[in-house]
Amino acid sequence: MKADARRFFSLAELAGHFGGTVLGDAAVRIRQVAPLETAGPDELSFLTNRKYQKLLSTTRAAAVLLSEDSADATQLPRIVCRNPYASYARISALINPENRPAAGIHPDAVVDAQASVAASASIGPCAVIEKGAEIGEFAVIGANSFVGREARIGAHSRLHPNVTIYHHCVIGERVSLHSGVVIGADGFGMAMDDGRWLKIPQIGRVVIGDDVEVGAGTTIDRGALDDTVIDEGVKLDNQIQIGHNCHIGAHTAIAGCTGIAGSTRIGKYCMLGGGAMISGHLTIADRVTVSGGTLVAKSITAPGTYTAVFPMQPHAQWLKNAALVRRLDELMERVRGLENKAKKLGKE
């Protein structure tokens, strides 16, 4: 919250901390970060896209972060830097430090006597830590969260309130899991026998690397036999579903409402748009971008952007065109017929 910003930083200080060259008054004092349109007189803004450059002439910001090729686009006090968006992220983190609760086990937490909790960790009220679980240094377990038996939460990681970690799962360091996240529920595996589904025990784990962030309501199922693995630096938005035995490569970012069926491998540095659905048992190469709403039913072997979205139209037009999609086979037939006629006519 903006109200948390409690002190001022000079432009010179900020450039000192995070790099970049100050142009203009280096003593300007910054209390907060803000977009160009709404920034006030003690706020720092940033230009990360040339198309917003005209806002520089009207902004009330005290100073601006921009890249070298825009260094002269304003006369406001400014920090010229290599990656203004990254500098903005770092400066905002300095100004708005995360509020982490004090170390210690809340008297209303329920921690098994055979769990191991670092002295610097914080366990919130009504959190439940089962036997054999390990909570690392400076980790935070939010109120009403659950850590199952033998699960491990790495140092500096944070479970927000109402997070569930099933037994034996492993969470790396500096991982952030938002409320409603469920890690390690049973994968969807069953065998049909005599008209009834038999459950297949899901005996793998979920193993999450360092520096992963998982958004609210996202679910990651434990493996059937082997583990489900989320590599370091992966960023998952809200309400993503990851099936059993998936492997998500390092630094891949996945937008909300995306589903990944079981045993699929996603490469490194991929970007999946919101609402994408990836079928099971596929392999997606490194640095693949999948557009939002796209269903991927085949493996993708080369980097690039892939899309599968029906174009939106006013409903009346859609009705006509959708009906014709159903008749494409006939349309192609009719074109072939015309081509044959044309060929015959040509011969006559």
Q: Residue 220 corresponds to which tokens in the numbers above?
A: 């990651």
Q: Positive or negative, the Cα torsion across 42, 2, 213, 132?
A: positive
Residue for token digits 């952030």?
A: 176
Tell me the C-alpha to C-alpha distance, in Å, between residue 200 and each of 158, 204, 205. 32, 12, 14
Pick 54 or 298: Cβ nearer a copy of itself? 298
What is the CB neighbour count within 10 angstroms for residue 317? 10
Pick 24 or 161: Cβ nearer a copy of itself? 161
- In the complex, minimum distance from the CB of residue 43 to a copy of itself, in angstroms, rounded to a whole number: 10
Q: What secondary structure letter does DSSP report for 68?
A: G
Pick 72 or 100: Cβ nearer a copy of itself? 100
Pick 26 or 287: Cβ nearer a copy of itself? 287
Which residue in 178, 244, 247, 251 is the catalytic one?
A: 244
Structural contact between residues 115 and 130, judged by C-beta atoms closer than 8 angstroms: yes
Pick 119 or 346: Cβ nearer a copy of itself? 346
- In the complex, minimum distance from the CB of residue 228 to a copy of itself, in angstroms, rounded to a whole number: 12
* Alpha carbon distance 84, 45 (integer Å): 10
- In the complex, minimum distance from the CB of residue 174 to a copy of itself, in angstroms, rounded to a whole number: 10
* Alpha carbon distance 33, 48 (integer Å): 14
Would you give the distance in Å from CA 158 to the centre of its chain? 16
Q: In what helix (H) or strand (E) does residue 206 lie, and over which residues does it extend? A: strand 206-208
- In the complex, minimum distance from the CB of residue 56 to a copy of itself, in angstroms, rounded to a whole number: 17
Residues across the chain: 348
**17 included as an active-site residue:** no
- In the complex, minimum distance from the CB of residue 75 to a copy of itself, in angstroms, rounded to a whole number: 24
Active site residues: 244
